[in-house]
Amino acid sequence: MGRVTTIGRAVREGIAPFVDLVYPPRCPACGEAIGEQGGLCAECWSGLAIPGDPSCAACQRPFGEVGPKEGSFCAPCLENAPIHDGIAAGTLYTEVSRKLVLALKHGRRIALAKLLARLMTARIPPTEGERLIVPVPLHRWRLWHRGFNQAGLLARELEKAGCGTLLVDAMRRTKRTPSLGGMGAKARARALAGAIEVSRPERIAGRNVLLVDDVLTSGATSTACVRALKRAGARTVTISCFARVLDEALDHAR
């Protein structure tokens, strides 16, 4: 296996100059020329906001240097204790991260999954025992229309990075749901009621789960997934996403 891997790496390195000649490396966020495939230009790298510490002990919301000490809880978690076991976001949602997500999801640039997953991997905390990697599911009609599940692509890259074992069909959407944008919390909950279920509960019971999605906005979809996984007996469920919408935390992360 080691020899095969070495040969494959040598082949990729050997053809890389020809690939660059035909497809000159470009920043996937802005289109500027860059040194090699699979990266970002310096300006776009600086446009990413990486969550830092100290942060909320429950949801990892960044506090900033003048905020509460490590181990404290943010106001939203104090008001409503989350049912998940942590949120590991690769970045906060900015203009650059938005462009990357759109390029992956709607621009069909599926090769970007490797870059996005690399940023996610850096933020995923260690866990005791083996961890299952479960992508947030798409309804079959949306999957048919798009051709792929972006959460599934990210989850596969996380498995390659050694973050756990992928169980791609662990969950399914049993009904189509409308766009949740503009809905209040109660309306989102009604739209998602009964829409997500665990298809293989025997594989979930007693396990640590890493729930994977591209963007975490209101958290309604991830909460529905966490509830289903916990009902199936999951020991812990940590949410991993590439970009998390936390406008009030952007200044703390930069």
Both 140 and 210 in one domain: the answer is yes
Residue 47's identity, in one-letter code, is G
User: For residue 214, what are the domain limits?
Assistant: 49-253
Rounded to whole angstroms, the Cα distance separating 177 from 16 reads 43
Both 107 and 208 in one domain: the answer is yes
- What are phi and psi for residue 67, nearest 5 degrees? -85, -170
Inter-residue contact 120 to 88 (CB < 8 Å): yes
Averaged pLDDT for residues 141-147 = 82
> Binning pLDDT at 50, 70 and 90, where does residue 4 land?
very low
Instruction: Note the pLDDT of residue 29.
Output: 92
CATH of the domain at 111: 3.40.50.2020
Both 16 and 73 in one domain: the answer is no
Q: Pick the residue with more confidence: 20 or 71?
A: 71
Q: Which contiguous run of DSSP H or E holds residue 5?
A: helix 2-22
Rounded to whole angstroms, the Cα distance separating 11 from 64 reads 45
Structural domain count, the chain: 2
Of the candidates 41, 73, 84, 40, the one whose C-alpha atom is nearest the C-alpha of residue 224 is 84
Both 38 and 67 in one domain: the answer is no
Helix (H, G, I), strand (E, B) or coil at 99: helix
Both 93 and 6 in one domain: the answer is no
Both 61 and 41 in one domain: the answer is no
**Model pTM?**
0.86
Both 218 and 151 in one domain: the answer is yes
Both 230 and 190 in one domain: the answer is yes
Both 41 and 79 in one domain: the answer is no
Instruction: Please write the tens of the pLDDT for every residue from 213-233.
Output: 999 988 889 999 999 999 999
> Binning pLDDT at 50, 70 and 90, where does residue 121 land?
very high
Instruction: Please write the tens of the pLDDT for every residue from 15-59.
Output: 444 444 345 889 999 999 988 877 899 999 999 999 988 899 999
Both 110 and 208 in one domain: the answer is yes
> Binning pLDDT at 50, 70 and 90, where does residue 253 land?
low
Both 208 and 193 in one domain: the answer is yes
Both 33 and 79 in one domain: the answer is no
